[in-house]
Structure 1
Amino acid sequence: MTSRYSRQELFAPIGKEGQKRLHSTHVLIIGAGALGSANAELLARAGIGKLTIADRDYVEWSNLQRQQLYCEADALERMPKAAAAARRLRAINSDVAIIPHIADVGAQELEQLIKGVDLIIDGTDNFEIRLMINDISQKHKIAWIYGGCVGSYGLSFTILPGSTPCLNCLLESMPLGGITCDTAGVIQPAIQMVAAHQSAEALKILTGDIDALNRKLVSFDVWKNQFRTINVSSLKKASCPSCGEEQTYPYLSYDNQTKAAVLCGRDTVQIRPGTIQTRNLDHLETTLTGQGFKTKRNPYLLSFRVESARLVVFKDGRVFVHGIKDISEAKILYHRYLS
């Protein structure tokens, strides 16, 4: 019988030896949304040995347009994405060990999930967890592949500890809000392009073909027919606390993590960012109203309604999520619309 990987083995840069290497690898995907599910299916079909998927959310109807592992039954049952993904992936390739984790991943969870992992793939939707992934990657010297998309635009960058700039090098500080898939939408072709770049880089790393890696940041807009690569090697900083000469891994510190608490006697969760900041309410209001949200404003705060909740944003970065008692649900809305 012809091997299920025969066409992949005929590809000279992989071959039979590369296929054997793939079968011995363990990949961790953080986030099982559009990018996470696309990467998970590509790698499962490629025949990696073990795939760990971590996600805190469940399947909703709005996910079905772009999150390829899920079906209508998953949305009706509100299946946790990690569990639904594992079920589908096992049906695709029973030879791959699929380990689902239904959890809100933070620094402590990452320390546990990282054990025995060869590569991390970013399938998240906010920069707080990405910067945690970045620090855990640098701490344990494990490569990770960043990816993001919104509208018709996407970008990807492969981060090799000790070699390339890290995400903290590229970002001077935590982004303070902007356009997201939930405000500007996203189309499936953009997601597939990002996932294609991420998974191709993953196959290169997992088969040991490091010289073939694209060490530039890739960005494109599939609607405007734009594509470019950016050489960011000069942005690697010796002073970077994540990957520089004196590494402190700041985003693994509790002080730099988002804090959330239920306010006593109220259906409200307060979320406080991990770093001291001054929120630009003018910019936030322009962004939200431009995407069709109705906002209310005074000199001290801005509020808007989304789904069944009302979010109130203060100048110091704090957010009240009214109408919700569950911290996990409140954090999902916070990252979805304000991260």
Structure 2
Amino acid sequence: MSSRPVSSRQLTGSGAVQPSPGLGKLRSLAHRVMAAGYLLRFGVERDLSRYARQTVLPGIGRAGQQRLLDAHAAIVGCGTLGCVIADQLCRAGVGRLTIVDRDLVEPGNLQRQVLFDQADADARLPKAEAARTRLAEINPDVRTEAVIADLRPSNAERVILDGPHGRPGVILDGTDNFETRFLLNDLSVKHTVPYVYAGVVGTRAMRAVFRPGVGPCLRCVFDRPPAPGSQPTCETAGVLAPAAAMIGAMQAAEAIKLLVGSDAVATGLVELDAWTGMHRSVDLTRSADPACPCCVGRVFEHLEAPDPDAAALCGRNAVQVMPAGNGHRIDLDTLAAALQGVGAVSRTPFMVRAGLDEHPGVTLSVFRDGRAVIEGVEDTSRARALYARYVGA
């Protein structure tokens, strides 16, 4: 009778079943590499020495570090706050990051947006792409998806939930406007993804964590966006870089706690002033609104709203224009050729940029999705007219 091979065990002469020498060697190797500061995952050794000061923390440890390496965080907005968040989560070893941003790096960003340098500004790189390149240099363990887009109702679920990294374990707010924040809150509540909110203007900043099913949502605390012109903006009040660094670090800390499964996640709204040293926290555990249309009524009006066709960009003399409809695509080579007669034209892998000779000081940047940023213009009606003339309706 022929014998049957046994893959991981061998029969001894007495009939006892013993582990094979090969399996024993594998276990011995696993023990050695773990003792030396490695994780053995799917047959690949991961060096944990870069996280040594983090894994020694009681709230993280080796198991928590593994969870971080397997985790996915989505960061919406890669400006002042988003750069701080992305930098710290990358260094912490959050294995997958999705960064969504619609804007380009410019010299005025460099005072406070820590992932960018002069070369990025000179090249007018998209912020999401410049951040992806920089993060890859910081930590090769981390895979970053750069989404060069404006997050809006028609694409929010696809961009945040259905990208190559899959569903995130946390959504982090690096935005500069309440319209997008209310959109993120709808997305968070509808799909039960924790949302770490923050805002910074001048020297003051605030942060809160909203966990669906645990306490209030953003709309329970701020029932509607503030009226236009009623609040200071980064353009009118400026931004102190240390204020952004402080609150962005607090956002990153809460994200790490959420991703490792800690029970120490913050339940309060923190407000600080980096100039005066003021710091206070307001407990939100009893702030849930029983009549909230979002987390109680399950009405997601911001997620279901029509897309805006134009919007002025905070802190810039510029307007963003979106084409009608969803899924619009632009052939950049064709557009670059068509614009040759209007002024100086440049083409990058991400966009076509043209100075408009008939409109001194006005520059048109058009992306593959049809979105355009028109600099040198503040009036949305004029921006739409320029878009229709040079790009098409």
Which band: TM-score by shorter chain?
0.7 to 0.9
Structure 2 CA distance for partners of 1:234 and 1:76, relative to 1, 3 Å? same
Alignment of 1:76-155 (within 5 A): 76-115=122-161, 116-155=167-206
Cα offset, 1:112, TM superposition: 1.1
Q: Which amino acid aligns with 1:27?
A: A
Q: What stretches of structure 1 of length at least 5 have no aligned partner?
A: 262-267, 272-305, 312-318, 328-339
In structure 2, distance between residues paired with 1:36 and 1:77: 20
Matched, 1:185 2:235: no
Deviation at 1:233, TM superposition (A): 3.0
Residue 121 of structure 1 contacts residue 146 of structure 1 at CA under 8 Å; is this kept in 2?
A: yes
Please tell me the residue identity of whatever aligns with 1:220. Answer: L
Query: What is the alpha-carbon distance in structure 2 between the residues aligned to residue 113 and residue 238 of structure 1?
Result: 30
Alpha-carbon offset, residue 324 of structure 1: 7.0
Report the residue type matching 2:386 in the other structure.
K
Quote the Cα distance in structure 2 between the aligned partners of 1:324 and 1:39: 37
Structure 1 residues 132 and 269 mapped into 2: Cα distance closer, same or farther (>3 Å)?
closer
Runs of 4+ displaced beyond 4 Å: 268-271, 321-324
Structure 2 residues not aligned, in runs of 5+: 1-35, 38-48, 162-166, 312-318, 323-373, 389-393
CA-CA distance at 1:242 after TM superposition: 1.1
1:321, distance to aligned residue in structure 2 (A): 4.8
Give the counterpart letter for 1:113 in structure 2: V
State the SS of the aligned residue for 1:145.
strand
Q: CA deviation at 1:248?
A: 1.3
Find the aligned partners of 1:321 and 1:184 in 2 and give their Cα distance.
26
1:21 Cα deviation after fit:
0.6
How far off its partner does 1:114 sit? 2.7
2:176 corresponds to which letter in structure 1?
Answer: D
Which of 279, 284, 291 lines up with 1:232 in the alignment?
A: 284
Residue 204 (structure 1) aligns with: 257
Deviations 1:72-125 (A, max 9, x none): 000000000000000000000111111000001112322112322111000001
After TM superposition, give the deviation of residue 9 of structure 1 in Å: 0.5
Paired positions, count = 277
Among 317, 325, 334, which residue is 2:386 paired with?
325
Give distance in 1, aligned partners of 2:237 and 2:375.
16
C-alpha distance in 1, partners of 2:386/2:76?
A: 25
For 1:162 and 1:215, the matched residues in 2 are separated by 13
Percent sequence identity is 41
Q: 1:324 to 1:81 in 2, by over 3 A?
A: farther
1:294-324 CA deviation, whole Å, 9 max, x = no partner? xxxxxxxxxxxx972243xxxxxxx645597
Q: Which residue of 2 aligns with 1:64?
A: 110
Distance verdict in 2 for CA 1:326–1:26, change over 3 Å: farther
Residue 218 of structure 1 aligns to which amino acid in structure 2? V
> Could you tell me whether the CA contact under 8 Å between 1:30 and 1:120 is conserved in 2?
yes
C-alpha distance in 1 between matches for 2:378 and 2:290: 43
Q: Does 1:170 align with 2:231?
A: no
Answer yes or no: is 1:219 the counterpart of 2:259: no
In 2, are the aligned partners of 1:269 and 1:325 still within 8 Å (CA)?
no
- Cα offset, 1:163, TM superposition: 1.1
- 2:308 corresponds, among 238, 258, 280, to 258
Inter-CA distance 228–176: structure 2 relative to 1 (3 Å threshold): same
Alpha-carbon distance, 1:170 to partner:
1.4
CA contact (8 A) 1:270 1:321 kept: no
Q: Mark the structure with the bigger radius of gyration.
A: 2
- In the superposition, the TM-score normalised over structure 2's length comes to 0.67
Higher RCO, 1 vs 2 (CA within 8 Å, ≥6 residues apart): 1
Q: Is contact 1:269-1:326 (8 Å) kept?
A: no
Name the SS for the 2:140 alignment partner. coil
SS in 1 for 2:155: helix
Partner of 2:68: 22
Using the alignment, how far apart are the partners of 1:93 and 1:168 within structure 2? 36
Deviation track 1:54-87 (CA, whole Å, cap 9, x = no partner) reads 1000001000000000000000000000000000
2:153 partner letter: A
Q: Taking structure 1 as reference, are residues 15 and 127 closer, same or farther at Cα in structure 2, changes over 3 Å only?
A: same
| 1:47-62 correspondence runs (5 A) | 47-62=93-108
Partners of 1:235 and 1:60 in 2: CA distance: 40
Query: Cα distance 1:206–1:236, how it changes in 2: closer, same or farther (>3 A)?
Result: same
CA shift in 2, pair 1:57/1:324, >3 Å: farther
Select 1:32's aligned residue among 66, 73, 78: 78
Q: Kindly indicate which of the two structures has a greater share of residues assigned to helix.
A: 1
- Out of 246, 249, 270, the residue aligned to residue 300 of structure 2 is 249
1:169 is paired with a residue whose SS is: helix
In 1: Cα distance, 2:320 partner to 2:61 partner:
53
